[in-house]
Amino acid sequence: MVSALNAQLTHHGATDVLRAAFQTVPDIALVSSFGAESVVLLHLAAMVKRDVPVIFIDTEMLFAETLVYQQELAERLRLSNVRIIRADDAEARDPSRSLHRRNVDACCALRKVAPLRRALEGHSGWITGRKRYQSGTRAALEFFEVEDATGKIKVNPLARWSRADITEYMEENRLPRHPLVAQGYPSIGCAPCTSKVADGEDPRAGRWRDQDKDECGIHFVDGKLVRAGQDT
């Protein structure tokens, strides 16, 4: 089915991919970080199916600006089914909120990966904002794929979009940017693990700076964590 959909939609745009996703996987959800580029996918989805379940993982370590932006976007786009998910055991396992200093991967697993996995248990597929330009591992990213680790269908409507396409779409549709982008944060995650990016640096240089890590761990290929990419 996935191969047939990719072949059928080879020359189609993101809106057609979304329509096909909703028809093929009725219980599909959209996962969004409400980060620097998230508004594009959310806007497209709202035009096709405003009540699509939108899963937002509140790690309880996010910037206040992200939480405000999430509320404002949901209202502006009239998204009627936003689900805010938090870890059930974060308080017990990380009461001092310092786990990220000792083991950053364990913190991501506790506060984002595990909650998302639980949130997706009732869905046969999910929609992401991944794009080919974001890394070498995504250079051949298709619109539809099967996640080997879970068997779920993963849909990437923006797979073939460029960074310029994202910027142009935001400008043409007058979509509000995340307020931290103007302050030097082109890629935005949890506050303790996100820093400003200098001119000329890679947009993700401010994520887990000086650590051998550039992905929170929510995307897998062949059952293995893929450490590359932009905001979901």
The model's pLDDT over 188-226, given as tens digits with 9 standing for 90+, comes to 999 999 999 988 887 777 777 766 655 544 444 444 444
Question: Active-site residue among 107, 108, 193, 216?
Answer: 216
pLDDT band of residue 132 (cuts 50, 70, 90) is confident
pLDDT band of residue 135 (cuts 50, 70, 90) is low
What local confidence, expressed as pLDDT, does residue 227 receive?
A: 40
Identify the structural domains of the chain with CATH numbers, from first to last.
Answer: 2-178 (3.40.50.620)
**Residue 61 pLDDT greater than 60, yes or no:** yes
Average pLDDT on 33-55 reads: 97
Q: Are 195 and 209 in contact (CB under 8 A)?
A: yes
Which is more confident, 142 or 210? Answer: 142
Other Cβ atoms less than 10 A from the Cβ of 196: the count is 13
pLDDT more than 90, % of the chain: 69
216 is catalytic: yes
